[in-house]
Amino acid sequence: MIVISRFVTKNGFTVSQGRYVARTLSTEKKYVETTEKNGVRTICMCDSSSCNSLSLGMLKSLMTEIKRDEDNKNLRSIVLMSESRKVFSAGHNLKELVCSYGLTSIRALLHTHRTEKSIIGSHHLDGYEHQISQGRV
């Protein structure tokens, strides 16, 4: 937050005194919220403004949370989910990549986040997988 003289902070808000205007700049954008309970880490993507597109910020946040405590023997699984019930992710944010980095960097980025081992054990779409296994669909 940037504070200019003649401002008073009350209850976490910057209030102007007189004719000055307060301007609060946000800190780093929050892309994910992480919780961990009983050996299960849940990473919830929460960038609804871009439908959880895989921008560089989102990718860095995801990789940080996935690799955090990777040697922890008590961590049994990681669940990746979306805050939105309508969309999981819009995919890569191609507009950001092309404008900022060019095609060579895009190719490098796409190869950077590959993994050598399978990281997805199963997926569930509101119980749909269970219905298939029970022969209900």
Residues 53, 56, 62: CA angle, nearest 5 degrees: 75
Q: Indicate the pairing of strand 32-37 with strand 77-82.
A: unpaired
DSSP H/E element including 95: helix 94-112
Residue 4 reports pLDDT greater than 50: no
Q: Does 92 or 16 have the greater pLDDT score?
A: 92
Q: At 105, list the tokens.
A: 């960097």
Domains of the chain: total: 2
The predicted-structure confidence for 105-137, as pLDDT tens digits, reads as follows: 667 666 666 655 555 555 555 554 444 444 444
> Average model confidence (pLDDT) for the chain?
72
Task: Count each helix (H run) and each strand (E run) in the chain, helices first.
Answer: 3, 5
Same domain, 35 and 84: yes
The predicted-structure confidence for 10-38, as pLDDT tens digits, reads as follows: 444 444 444 444 444 556 788 999 999 99
DSSP H/E element including 78: strand 77-82
pTM of the complete model beyond 0.85 = no
Q: Does 40 or 23 have the greater pLDDT score?
A: 40
Same domain, 42 and 62: yes
Give a yes or no: residue 46 inside a domain.
yes
Q: Does 101 or 25 have the greater pLDDT score?
A: 101
Give a yes or no: residue 49 inside a domain.
yes
CB neighbour list of residue 135: distance below 8 Å, 6 or more residues apart: none
Give a yes or no: residue 134 inside a domain.
no
Which percentage of the chain shows pLDDT scores above 70? 54
Distance CA 60, CA 1 (A): 23
User: How many residues are recorded in the chain?
Assistant: 137
- Which residue in the block uniquely carries the two structure tokens 């990681």? 78
Same domain, 56 and 102: no
Same domain, 57 and 82: yes
Same domain, 34 and 84: yes
> Are 77 and 39 spatial neighbours (Cβ–Cβ below 8 Å)?
yes
Q: At 118, list the tokens.
A: 């399978």
Q: Does 73 or 116 have the greater pLDDT score?
A: 73
Give a yes or no: residue 113 inside a domain.
yes
Same domain, 41 and 60: yes
Which of 1-5, 78-82, 128-132: highest mean pLDDT?
78-82
What residue numbers bound the domain in which 39 lies?
30-90
Give a yes or no: residue 85 inside a domain.
yes
Query: What is the pLDDT at residue 95?
Result: 78
Beta bridge partners of 45: 32, 82
